[in-house]
Every structure is written in structure tokens, then in C-alpha cells.
Structure 1
Amino acid sequence: MSKIIPFKAVRPTRDKVNLLAARSYESYTSMQVESRLRDNPFSFLHIVNPGFKYQKEISGVERYGLVRNRYQEFKEDGIFMQDEKPSFYIYKIVNRDGLEFNGIVAATSVQDYENDVIKKHEDTLEFREVLFKEYLKTVGFNAEAVLLTYPDNQELETILNQIMDSRPEYEFTTTYRDTHYLWNVDDEALLQKIQDIFSEMPALYIADGHHRSASSYLLAKDLMAENPHHSGDEAYNYFMSYIIPESDLKIYEFNRLVKDLNGLEKEEFLIKLDEYFRIENRGMNYYKPSELHHFSMYLDGEFYSLNLRKSKYEIKNALDALDTQILYVTILKPLLGIEDLRNDQRIEYSHGKKDLAFVKTAVDSGTFAVGFGLLAVTTEEMRHIADQGLKMPPKSTYIEPKLRSGVTVYEF
């Protein structure tokens, strides 16, 4: 029931892919962006930051048009080329920590998104959806795939392993010390076999890219309405995705940092916590949760373990059982007065790769009053929430792999 199709990717020539591929623009500091734009004329950052050519900060609709121009220039200069045949792209990443991710870059259906065959677990912000939709509409391409996942499939794994035994089209290591491999698959029989396997899957799950997929869906609705000859086969009926098995997905937690105790004294705060949690003072010993519904807290120079009193908390669905939700409904909202997890300036988030030493340092500095450490969400939890049509609190998951922009580009 899941529909994926091959497409003719626009992609860098083999000799320039390592120079062109870029992380998400937001992941760079301003100094890093400046150095890459200055020293590397082939970086994809030149496309998404077109004002550098004029030494001017450009935003809004004016920027969108210039992004389109820079992209066309890269094509005209032979930095990009387009495949002649529709293809799937087998993409392997081995990251700096030795983790390996294997998947397929393909075009996935906006109709599947609409019909909840592509399932979501996060809420999106409407203004961001509309903003990115307008961006896509102007530039006419998508260079950053949505990350989708599916339950492990032995038949598909065997096919991917056979393909990856051959020489890749791309093999390059980034300055971030991740190694990327890409195989171009255009054999029609093999393409059909892969499509048939996915057609038997009842659902795919968004792991990362909820706003990108929502924007692609909105764009398709716009372009359908504007096209009197709409057939359903147009490129805008699909969006580019990187689809990997669940076992390859790496999920880290997002820890929480809060700037004050909402007017409570330390002892008063601990007493209120006691209603829902069994509390143990761990002193200076780092405590990281290892069980579901256990939390770490760092407060006033000491670590505490907080274990949920199950007799006090009722679990009715998959969301109720999620630790980020439990923390919100038992502590963050009622005790610390944080209702809007996206926009409240009193709370910040630190992904688990920074560990609890980062939380401790942030609290010890006086910038924050208290920090909470959580257990990472599992793929099973994420799937159950999506299947029940529920949405996780924001910043519930930090997911790898993080893809490079520009390695494959989807035009519509």
C-alpha cells in the first residue's frame, strides 16, 4: 500500500560531490558558513545563501528567486548533472561514531501522506509549512530528503546488500568524518521488485522532516489546482525521501533545561515532586535513566533520580506512556508553569549526544535552575504514537542519520 517511484535525480558530478554536499544550513555557525562560502566555490551553501555573491543579506521572496538562479548556474556550469533514466539511489552512511545507515532515496507519494499511509508523530507549525511551500514553489526543487522508516524487511535487506557489494557511484568522507556511499539503480526489473516490496507495506513512518513533507503536500495541492490537465503523474505529486529500516534508525533523547522554579523554593519544589515520583538524592554522582518512566534531575549542585509512582499516573494510550509527555503533565506544566513547549522562553533543550555533563554545566553556570534527563524514545514508541494518530511533544527525539543536502536533488 506504500507507493514509491524512481526519479531522475539531479546530482553533482563524481569529482565534485565531496565539495558540494553540505549539512543543513542551520547546523553551521556563521563563521563556518563564511569560511565555506569563501573557500569552496562548489559548496551547496552558495545556492541556499545566494546573497554572498553580492556581500548582502537577502531574505524572503527575493532570496527564493536568487536560490533558483544559483541552482541553474550550477547546472549550466556542469557541477550538477541529471540522470537519463529514473532510478532509486541506495545510500549508505557510516558516521564518525561507527554507526551505519542503509536506505533508499526515492520519490514518495503526497497522496500517501494525505491518506495517512505515511504516518506522522509530530505537530507542525502552519506558518513554517506555508513559508517552505512558497520557497519550494519558487525554486522548483528539493535538495533535502525527508527521513522515513519502515519495519525491517529481510527481502529488501538482501537486495540492498547485493547492490552494495558493487562499486558505488559516490564514496566520500566529509570534514565531519562521516563517510557517504551512493549506488545508482536503474535496472527496470530491480526497480519493479523494490516497488513491489514497498507496495506490500501498510505504512511508512516519518522519522525526521515533518515540516518538509507537510510543505510538499501543500505545494502539490496548489499545483494541482493550478493545472487544468492534472493527471496525478506530475513530479509535484511526490517528494524526495530517504527510507531506512527501523533497526538502522538511531534515536537520542532531548533533555530539558528550565531557567527558574516558577517561584518555588527548592524544598517546596521537591515536596511537590514527591506526589508523582519516588525521589532519591544521588549527590554528585551522575544519574542517567536506564528504565522507562525514570528521570534524572540536576538541581542546586546535586543529581536526583525520579521514578514515576505508577499508582498516581494513568496511562490510556501511547502518548500517555511517553516519558516526554509524563514530564510535561506532571512537572513542566503544573509545577514550573510551562504550557507552550515550543515558544516558552524559560525552557531550552539539549539533545542526548551532549550528555548530562552539558546539563550540569548549564545549571551550574546559573543560566538554568534545573535540568531533566530522559531515556531515549524507541522506534516502537514512535510507531505506536503514529499508528494511534497522536503527536509527541516537541523535542521528543533527536534522530540520526542527518542527511547532506545536494547529493540528490528532486525537481518538480
Structure 2
Amino acid sequence: MAIIKPFKGLRPKKELAEKVASPPYDVLSSEEAREMAKDNPFSFLHINKPEIDLPPETNIYDEAVYQKGKENLDRFIKEGILVQDEKPMFYVYRQIMGDHSQIGLVAGASVEEYEKNLIKKHELTRADKEEDRVKHVNTLNAQTGPVFLTYKARPEIDALMNKIVQGEPEYDFTADDGIRHTFWLVDKDEDIKALQELFKQLDCLYVADGHHRSAAAMRVKQMRQAQNPNHTGDEEYNYFLTVIFPHNQMYIMDYNRVVKDLNGLSVDAFLKKVSEKFDVQKLGASAEKPRQKHEFVMYLNGEWYRLKARPGTFNENDPVEQLDVSILMNNLLVPILGIGDPRKDKRIDFVGGIRGLEELKRRVDSGEMQVAFGLYPTSIEDLMAIADAGKIMPPKSTWFEPKLRSGLVIHLLD
């Protein structure tokens, strides 16, 4: 069962939606956000990354940052930039990036189902980042960034969603990056009830992206429940802001790696060690993406190489061990390059596939890094298999595109 709840969304005025909507808080540095929002007083970054309105030396986890976020949210409401809907409803959010289109339902998902693992996870969270979202949500009394959920597609849900998007949208704009965002209100009682009934038929939901936001929602719910002697389970803090897409509309790009040095090895010695676990083919100066699972490309010393994992280097029956990110980690990054915990090791960095292989080449040619690895994208089926098995993916396994815009709708907690 998947319990979803309509809510009274806090949203931008129609004419301001394009100016308000911003990239998610966790894909921009404070400097990038400050630059993006400097000429736009309506940007949601003033709420989602409020340190941009404080001195640059301010620690992003300082209490003043959360208070500035609340101040900015209150101002947006007072000035009528954001207005709350009068009745609870669902929303439909479609994104179009090139030839790819995905249609998701914006809804409140059950924190209790998350606690019971009926909303399944596949990543661990970092304590500092989770605490940051807890403080942000609790201080603002609002969930400002949606969690990206997915489910095993159902034709009945597709049919109803496709019917809804035939209506007049509330928002429809193309952002600076060329991605089109269209947003519909689902305010008819019969559509709301039908969607709830259809989602109840699902076995579970999966967190695709937003593990820190969903974990924070659980902690805030638990805090508020403990403080509320009249807790009923119907309070808004029992639900968290989500956009829920069918699995067959998900678009996962490669998530690539760059490493600062060869761990004291010469280029020849490094290549010799790599060839013990991988078939190595020199490609020359031209970049080529991996063509299939268990195949990698590597950029080193001005040349590209194709690597193919040899049989026996991984367990094909283990949903985690057979992931390409695991194969690369277990057979090359750890034993040859000496990478420790990839969440903390300063010698490794990660590059989203949206930046292309040229970004890998640039990072190495600049001298900042010495070797780069391009991976074949993890599949949504791999993600669900790992979540179903109760296992955890290695960090930085999936890069979802397009990213959900923040600020199109906010879930207030009371």
C-alpha cells in the first residue's frame, strides 16, 4: 500500500512561477546560488539556500542561516509572492528535457510508511547533511524541496495522469537550461479519490533522490509527535513533500569519478595493475562512452582507454556487487589507487553525467586530477532490486535528470 495525501500547497503567483522556481539546494554551491539569485529577488534560493543573503564567510550550518530562511519565507508570503491554496489537492508536474518526458504526481507521502520501510531507501545519509535539513524544515515549518519517489509503473495510473495533463496547466515555462516545466492542479474530488485508490494498490514506493530530505521529514515528525500530547496521525508533519514518477519514465545518467593521483604508481605500473582485473583497450584522443554494463572508459595521460571487467571479478548474483560503481571501487579504486571511504576521501571527486566526458578530460588536463573514469548508467531496475533486498548502494551511484525545481509548491507543516 502507498498512502498519499492531498495538501494545501503554498505556491507562486502564476506570473512569478518562472522567477521563483530554482534548482534544488544540493546541486549548487553557495557561491553559484549567490550568483544565480543576485538579480532575482523572487528566486526560491533565498529560501532554500538562505546563506546567500548573509556575509559570504557565514558557516552554512549556522543558526542564522535557518532564521534567514524563515525570514525570507515569511516575506514571500507577506508580499504575496507565495499564496496558499484554499483546499487540499494534488498537483501534476511534467518535465521535458530534449526527447525525454516524465510526469509525476506531487503529493504528501506517509512518514509512517517511510518508517516501516514501505517507502524503500537505497542510500545512507550523512549526519551533517541530515541535521541541516532537519533544522531547515523545523525552523521554516515547511518542506521546501520535494523528495523524488518512484514506483513500478501501472497503466491505470498512467491513464489518469495523461488525462489530467490534457487540461490547462497552472504553470508552463522553459528554464535557462532548456528544460520545460509544466504544472497542473488536481482539485477535482473524483480525481483526488481515484489517485489515492490507485496508489493504495501499489506494494511500495522507492526513494529515487532525496534521502536526506526524507530522513529529515521522519525526524521532524518524531520530534513533533513527542511534543504533541494530542497527536492523531493526521497532522501535516505526518506527511512529506514528494513528486512520484513511474519507474519507466526515470532517466538516470552516468555518475563518473576523477582521482587526484595514481597512489605513487607510474603510468605504466598503474596500467599493468589495471590489466590484471580488466581487459584494457587504448582508444586514443577520442572520447567514447561505455557501450554496456560492466564496461568503463578511463582518461589518463592525454589518452582514453576502454576497460571491461573480467569474469570472476564480481558476484553476478549480488545486486550491489554487480553494480559498475562497486566493480570499479572493489577492483581498482580501493586496491590500486588506495581510495578509502568515498564519502570522506579528498582524493576522489564525482562528476554528474550531465557534464559529459569532456568535463572528465578537462579536470585531468588541468592538472587538478590525474585519472578519470566514465561509467555506464545504473538502471532503475538495479536501484529497486537493491532497495527490495534491503541493501545499500555505494555513494554516488545514480545521477537523475532532469532535476526537480524547488519553489513550485511548498508543504507547510501546520
Letter in 1 for 2:295: H
Is residue 12–residue 83 contact of structure 2 (8 Å, CA) maintained in 1? yes
Name the SS of the counterpart of 1:261 in structure 2.
coil
Aligned counterpart, 1:41: 41
Is residue 33–residue 52 contact of structure 2 (8 Å, CA) maintained in 1? no
Tell me the TM-score normalised to structure 2 length: 0.94
Aligned counterpart, 1:80: 82
Aligned counterpart, 1:226: 227
Is residue 130–residue 215 contact of structure 2 (8 Å, CA) maintained in 1? yes
**Structure 1 residue runs without a partner (length 5+):** none
Question: What CA deviation, in whole Å up to 9, does each residue of 1:203-225 have, x standing for no partner?
Answer: 11111101100111111111111
Letter in 2 for 1:90: V
Letter in 2 for 1:134: K
Aligned counterpart, 2:335: 334
Relative distance call for 1:345 and 1:189 in structure 2 (3 A) is same
Is residue 150–residue 246 contact of structure 2 (8 Å, CA) maintained in 1? yes
Is residue 249–residue 401 contact of structure 1 (8 Å, CA) maintained in 2? no
How far does residue 288 in structure 1 lie from its aligned partner after superposition?
Answer: 2.1
Name the SS of the counterpart of 1:356 in structure 2.
helix
Q: Percent of pairs identical after alignment?
A: 39
Aligned counterpart, 1:8: 8
Relative distance call for 1:349 and 1:170 in structure 2 (3 A) is same
Is residue 297–residue 371 contact of structure 1 (8 Å, CA) maintained in 2? yes
Aligned counterpart, 2:159: 158
Relative distance call for 1:70 and 1:121 in structure 2 (3 A) is same
Letter in 1 for 2:280: I
Tell me the TM-score normalised to structure 1 length: 0.94
Aligned counterpart, 1:270: 271
Aligned counterpart, 1:291: 292
Q: How many residues matched?
A: 411
How far does residue 28 in structure 1 lie from its aligned partner after superposition?
Answer: 4.7
How far does residue 51 in structure 1 lie from its aligned partner after superposition?
Answer: 6.3
Deviates more, 1:161-170 or 1:296-305: 296-305
Question: What CA deviation, in whole Å up to 9, does each residue of 1:218-277 have, x standing for no partner?
Answer: 111111111111111111111000001112211011111111111112222222222211
For residues 301 and 54 of structure 1, the distance between their equivalents in structure 2, rounded to whole angstroms, comes to 42
Relative distance call for 1:272 and 1:57 in structure 2 (3 A) is closer
How far does residue 75 in structure 1 lie from its aligned partner after superposition?
Answer: 1.2
For residues 311 and 162 of structure 1, the distance between their equivalents in structure 2, rounded to whole angstroms, comes to 49
Aligned counterpart, 2:112: 111
Aligned counterpart, 1:386: 387
How far does residue 65 in structure 1 lie from its aligned partner after superposition?
Answer: 2.0
Measured on the aligned residues, the alpha-carbon RMSD in Å equals 1.9
Relative distance call for 1:222 and 1:168 in structure 2 (3 A) is same
Is residue 143–residue 407 contact of structure 1 (8 Å, CA) maintained in 2? no
For residues 372 and 65 of structure 2, the distance between their equivalents in structure 1, rounded to whole angstroms, comes to 39
Following superposition of structure 1 onto structure 2, how do residues 242-281 of structure 1 map, counting pairs within 5 Å?
242-281=243-282
How far does residue 403 in structure 1 lie from its aligned partner after superposition?
Answer: 1.3
Relative distance call for 1:80 and 1:136 in structure 2 (3 A) is same
Letter in 2 for 1:80: L
Letter in 1 for 2:16: K
For residues 286 and 52 of structure 2, the distance between their equivalents in structure 1, rounded to whole angstroms, comes to 49
Deviates more, 1:321-330 or 1:41-50: 41-50
Is residue 93–residue 102 contact of structure 1 (8 Å, CA) maintained in 2? yes
For residues 210 and 132 of structure 1, the distance between their equivalents in structure 2, rounded to whole angstroms, comes to 10
For residues 264 and 38 of structure 1, the distance between their equivalents in structure 2, rounded to whole angstroms, comes to 46
For residues 55 and 263 of structure 1, the distance between their equivalents in structure 2, rounded to whole angstroms, comes to 41
Aligned counterpart, 1:402: 403
Aligned counterpart, 2:363: 362
| 2:96 paired residue among 94, 97, 115 | 94
Is residue 296–residue 307 contact of structure 2 (8 Å, CA) maintained in 1? yes
Question: What CA deviation, in whole Å up to 9, does each residue of 1:96-141 have, x standing for no partner?
Answer: x242121110000111111111111111112221221122111101
Letter in 1 for 2:44: F
Is residue 30–residue 51 contact of structure 2 (8 Å, CA) maintained in 1? no
Is residue 103–residue 244 contact of structure 1 (8 Å, CA) maintained in 2? yes
Letter in 1 for 2:5: I
Deviates more, 1:323-332 or 1:248-257: 248-257
